[in-house]
Amino acid sequence: MSSSNNNDTMNLTNDTNDDNNIEDELEWEEWDGTGSFWNHCVAGSIAGVAEHTLLYPVDTVKTHIQACASCPHNPNGAASSGSSSSSSSAMANLLKNTAAASSSSGGNSSRAAYNSSMVNRHTPSPPQGMMSTMRYIMTNQATTAAALNNSTTSTTNLIGAARLWRGVQTMVLGCIPAHALYFSSYEITKAYFISTSPTHELSYYGGMAAGAAATIGHDCVMTPLDTIKQRLQLGHYNGISHACKQMIQTEGLGSLFRSFPVTVLTNVPYGMIMVSTNELFKQKWTAPGEKLDLSTCLVSASIGGMVAAAATTPLDRMKTFLQTQQLQPACEQGTCPKLVGKPKGLSEGIKFIVKN
């Protein structure tokens, strides 16, 4: 009789351990205290590289939409309704002048012929939808940039889908140290709040503080690289070193960190909202003593990410304004020239976006 009870107890214990192991596997972003902490950081860094690389085309599309949204030359923008024909005319005139210059200077005849053919080609205005913008970047942008041959931007013209990954090397370079600092800051802060909690559990405000600390550490590394990344996405410069050199020479070292305050202002509430919302729904949908299943993790994380992104999109728009300084996509420089003048800060950006 006692042997049967012991077996039942052992089976119950094994089932409980299996449930705990499943829950620990689902909590992949948190260090369980076993194994090397640095292995956890490296694993998180590799996951970050994969995340940014796989979703990089979507980020490129977002950068183009945000950069063109308030452009006064964009016929789709609020401040320039009905200017589509004038924009197309300006592009046609620019291409015509380029063709004439090539012919008069004895340039390559095929180049001149190609530029001339571009004059009669309908040049669509930059779209604002996600899929239409993606197609525009891969087709119209590449061919128009090649026709203009603007040596002040980039001498490398990527064609097709490869154009969507322009500048991805910045993410590969920055994600490993940034995510290592992110995870270490998160774990240290989380451990502090757990140790000071009467119930030895992570409270909502503890999760928010851990997310904020992790985000600040992450942004110290990623802000300069993110600035370079967005300018490369728009078709400017020939690479990371060229962009860094040109920005420091023309705008000063501060140009690499100009967006840091608004980046932190964006990412801190993003991390706080995402972590707290994720934890809230996981606790709400998981009964005490019940194992945490995969579907709950996926849905909770998705809701947390969507709520955080929706709440911080206006701030992300401001970050793009500060980092690109109203640089337009390289292919649009005929109709959307770079605005010159002193570098613009947060207040100028808010006024410009609200006005237009």
250 HSE (CA, 13 A, CB side): 11
Would you mind telling me the total number of residues written for the chain in this entry? 356
C-alpha span between 343 and 323 (Å, rounded):
10
> H/E element holding 251?
helix 240-251
For 177, residues 6+ apart whose C-beta sits below 8 A from its C-beta are 45, 221
Residue recorded with tokens 């796989």: 54
Rounded Cα gap, residues 225 and 174, in angstroms: 7
Among 29, 25, 129, residue whose Cα is nearest residue 76? 129
Nearest to 71 by CA among 351, 337, 340, 263: 337
The whole-angstrom distance between residue 165's C-alpha and the CA centroid of its chain comes to 12
Q: Assess contact for 161 and 138: CB atoms under 8 A.
A: yes
pLDDT of residue 304: 94
Would you tell me how many other CB atoms lie within 10 Å of the CB of residue 131?
Answer: 9
CB environment 217-248: b (16+ within 10 A), e (fewer): bbbbbbbbbbbbbbbbbbbbbebbeebbeebe
pLDDT of residue 333: 52
**Across the 356 residues of the chain, what is the mean pLDDT of every consecutive 10-residue run?**
50 50 49 65 78 90 84 51 42 47 48 44 60 83 46 56 91 87 85 84 82 85 95 90 92 91 88 89 88 90 93 93 82 50 73 76
Residue pair 162/56 in contact by the 8 Å Cβ criterion = no
All residues at 6 or more sequence positions from 120 whose CB lies less than 8 Å from its CB, including other chains: none
What is the value of pTM for the model shown? 0.69
Q: Tokens for 205?
A: 């405000």
Pair of tokens at residue 89: 């005319």
Contacts of 279 (CB under 8 A, 6+ apart): 202, 204, 207, 300
Q: At 305, is the secondary structure helix, strand, or coil?
A: helix
Nearest Cα to 213, choosing from 187, 192, 185, 190?
185
Amino acid at the residue 62:
K
